[in-house]
Amino acid sequence: MHKKEEEADNIDKQELWERRLKWIMPFMAITFAILIWEFLVRYYEVPHYLIPAPSKISATLWTDGPSLLKAMLFTIKLTFFSLLLAIIGGVLLGMLFALSRTIEMSLFPFAVILQVTPIIAIAPLILIYVNSTFAALLICAWIVAFFPILSNTAIGLRSADHNLRDLFSLYRATPWQRLRFLMLPSALPYFMAALKIAGGLSLIGAVVAEFVAGTAGQNTGLASRILESSFRFEIPRMFAALFLVSILGVSIFLITSLLSHIVLGHWHESEIKREK
Amino acid sequence: MSKSNPIIHMGKVKKTFENGTLAVQGMTLDILKGQFISFLGPSGCGKSTVLKMIAGLLRPTSGQILINGKKPNEISSDQNIGYVFQDATLMPWATVEDNVFLPLRLKGITKYQASGDIEKALQKVGLKDFYKSYPRELSGGMKMRVSIARALIMKPKLLLMDEPFAALDEMTRFRLNDDVLSFWENADLTVIFVTHSVFESVYLSNRVIVMAPRPGRVIADISLKDSYPRSEEYRTTSAYTENCRLVSGHLKNSMVKE
Ligand SMILES: Nc1ncnc2c1ncn2[C@@H]1O[C@H](COP(=O)(O)OP(=O)(O)O)[C@@H](O)[C@H]1O
Ligand SMILES: [Mg+2]
């Protein structure tokens, strides 16, 4: 009895340790990489206009903080709204596709064309046709993020178990009940997978579109800061902006993963941790 | 309780699927109210197809199916039919409680109004303590019990079961067999039970319909002497063995003719 308790205790400790390890390991690896970077730059006396040391970058982050943060806020806004629009558009059109094969067959080619044409090639046109720069950037980022949500939602809505569908017919479910209680929950895992991809893509879209748009205007994002710095050979500033972009990307990844875990954790295989 | 009027009439029912498969042909059958009837046959002989046609989920290509004198898709929604599939067919995202609640929810009943019925249904299948569990946390037999609770919650007069216990271990199957028998005995219920097990069909039913494939058709209609209530002991009686031999014989005939 006593021994058993001890065993259970040990297992608990081990699990706790494993959970901590999941955070400690990447943290240590990154810290280590940064230290090596710092050491190499100092040891070989690499000039900071070639490769700045991490200490130099963080100093720049501090001094240029206000302007960089403002840019970051702009990029966040752009990314967030384009993702939001991608979700709304993707889910609505995905529902339409799931409802009617005819609509899907006629509209799907357009979605594919939008998807396969590199955004960098369409962006200049959009910037010409759309007056507001923010709207143009939004459209660019939206195009990139939209497709995975559309296609996954359409597939997910169709993935409902056929016996469950029969059951809903047996009980004379209305189309609305069928959508609400069967198709949407069935589509949720597919949608969450798409959201993880689309989150990253909307950031890429936002950055790429801004690169094409150039640095014109006051209200600009991190991509403009990077471009600007490259013109002025302010390499540390470029790295600082780059650092913020990756922080943004990582945050989006973490948030969408967490969201997926919250929504699916209690029932879907992809989010359930199997006991060994 | 009257157990003698036909609840289902099938006349020359034929089903050809769009791909040309002739699944069922020339099926004529009257099922009496209160019967426990088994459809027995090898896989592919059209048992599921017949069940789906009775439930109104598939339309016969020709012929007629009447439930209490009405076509399956015309019967009013309060004369509902219970349906149990081979796999439990639960919604993985919903708790046991919400799964059992589904038929009532689709009728527009609120969970508050339904809570009493849900509790009773779960109690009946011995899962009252699991109402907050998710299907993945249950064993195969427990999932099947949830599925049965869901089928019974609307108090149907007709219960269709499509090889419900085929995937379960023997002990669990025996226990569920007894449970289904007791539900049937204690309610005004007609059961159509699809199986490919001679022993299961003989243990449960008072009438066995033996079917043969290509095309799916009825080759024997065997009435078994009533000797309910049945329990484990019935499996060791000579009457049971005799019935099994009788039914097996018909089933073998269907294989030989092929
Ligand atoms: N939706 C369908 N489309 C085409 N053929 C089908 C379909 N459903 C069943 N079948 C065919 O009809 C025959 C009978 O099937 P089924 O009723 O499922 O048999 P059982 O339940 O007795 O195993 C089989 O040959 C099967 O392949
Ligand atoms: Mg079948």
Which CATH number belongs to the domain containing residue A231 in this structure?
A: 1.10.3720.10
Within-domain flag for B122: yes
Give yes or no: residues A121 and A72 share one domain. Answer: yes
Collect all residues of chain A within an 8 Å Cβ-Cβ radius of residue B80: 170-171
pLDDT at B200 over 80: yes
Within-domain flag for B117: yes
Within-domain flag for A221: yes
Give yes or no: residues A11 and A126 share one domain. Answer: no
How many structural domains is chain B composed of?
Answer: 1
Within-domain flag for A232: yes
CB contact under 8 A, A164 and B89: yes
Give yes or no: residues A74 and A9 share one domain. Answer: no
Collect all residues of chain A within an 8 Å Cβ-Cβ radius of residue B87: 163
Mutate which: B76, B93, B97, B154, vs A, most A CBs within 10 A: B93
Give yes or no: residues A108 and A235 share one domain. Answer: yes
Beta bridge partners of B195: B40
* CB B243 near ligand 1, within 6 Å: no
C-alpha B48 – ligand 1 centre gap (Å): 7
pLDDT score, position A276 = 53
Within-domain flag for A24: yes
Rounded-to-integer distance, Cα A239 and Cα A228, Å: 12
* CB B214 near ligand 1, within 6 Å: no
Within-domain flag for A117: yes
Give yes or no: residues A216 and A184 share one domain. Answer: yes
Give yes or no: residues A26 and A76 share one domain. Answer: no
* Residues 143-162 in A contacting B (C-alpha not used; CB under 8 Å): 161
Give yes or no: residues A147 and A214 share one domain. Answer: yes
Within-domain flag for B145: yes
B81 touches chain A (CB under 8 A): yes
* CB B48 near ligand 1, within 6 Å: yes
How many structural domains is chain A composed of?
Answer: 2
Both structure tokens of A60: 């720049």
Domain of residue B104: give its range. Answer: 90-155
pLDDT at B1 over 60: no
Beta bridge partners of B191: B36, B159
Q: Summarize pLDDT for A149-161 with one digit per residue, the tens.
A: 999 999 999 999 9
Looking up tokens 């271990």 gives B169
Within-domain flag for A50: no
pLDDT score, position A60 = 86
Within-domain flag for A51: no
If pLDDT is split at 50, 70 and 90, which confidence band does B4 have? low
Short-list B120, B124, B89, CA closest to B104: B120
pLDDT score, position B2 = 43
Work out the average pLDDT over B95-117: 94
pLDDT score, position A4 = 57
Give yes or no: residues A98 and A180 share one domain. Answer: yes
pLDDT score, position A260 = 92
CB contact under 8 A, A171 and B106: yes
Chain A nearest C-alpha distance from B188 (Å): 20
CA-nearest residue for atom 11, ligand 1, is B23
CB contact under 8 A, B106 and A181: yes
Within-domain flag for B242: no
* CB B15 near ligand 1, within 6 Å: no
Collect all residues of chain B within an 8 Å Cβ-Cβ radius of residue A177: 105-106
Element (H, E) at B81: strand B81-84
Short-list B106, B110, B185, CA closest to A164: B106
The pTM score is 0.86
Work out the average pLDDT over B115-133: 92
Within-domain flag for B116: yes
Chain A nearest C-alpha distance from B60 (Å): 16
C-alpha B72 – ligand 2 centre gap (Å): 20
Rounded-to-integer distance, Cα A149 and Cα A86, Å: 7
Within-domain flag for B228: no
CB contact under 8 A, B92 and A172: no
Q: Summarize pLDDT for A183-201 with one digit per residue, the tens.
A: 999 999 999 999 999 999 9
Within-domain flag for A162: yes
> Which segments of chain A have a pLDDT < 50?
1
Q: Summarize pLDDT for A55-90 with one digit per residue, the tens.
A: 888 888 888 888 889 889 999 999 999 999 999 999
Within-domain flag for B241: no
Q: In what order do the strands lie in the sheet with B217-223?
A: B81-84, B158-162, B190-195, B36-40, B207-212, B217-223
Within-domain flag for B105: yes
CA-nearest residue for atom 18, ligand 1, is B48
Both structure tokens of B64: 């007629």
Give yes or no: residues A172 and A113 share one domain. Answer: yes
pLDDT score, position A68 = 87
pLDDT score, position B256 = 56
Within-domain flag for A124: yes
C-alpha B31 – ligand 2 centre gap (Å): 20
Rounded-to-integer distance, Cα B146 and Cα B102, Å: 11
Domain of residue A32: give its range. Answer: 1-45
For B87, nearest residue in chain A (alpha carbons): A163
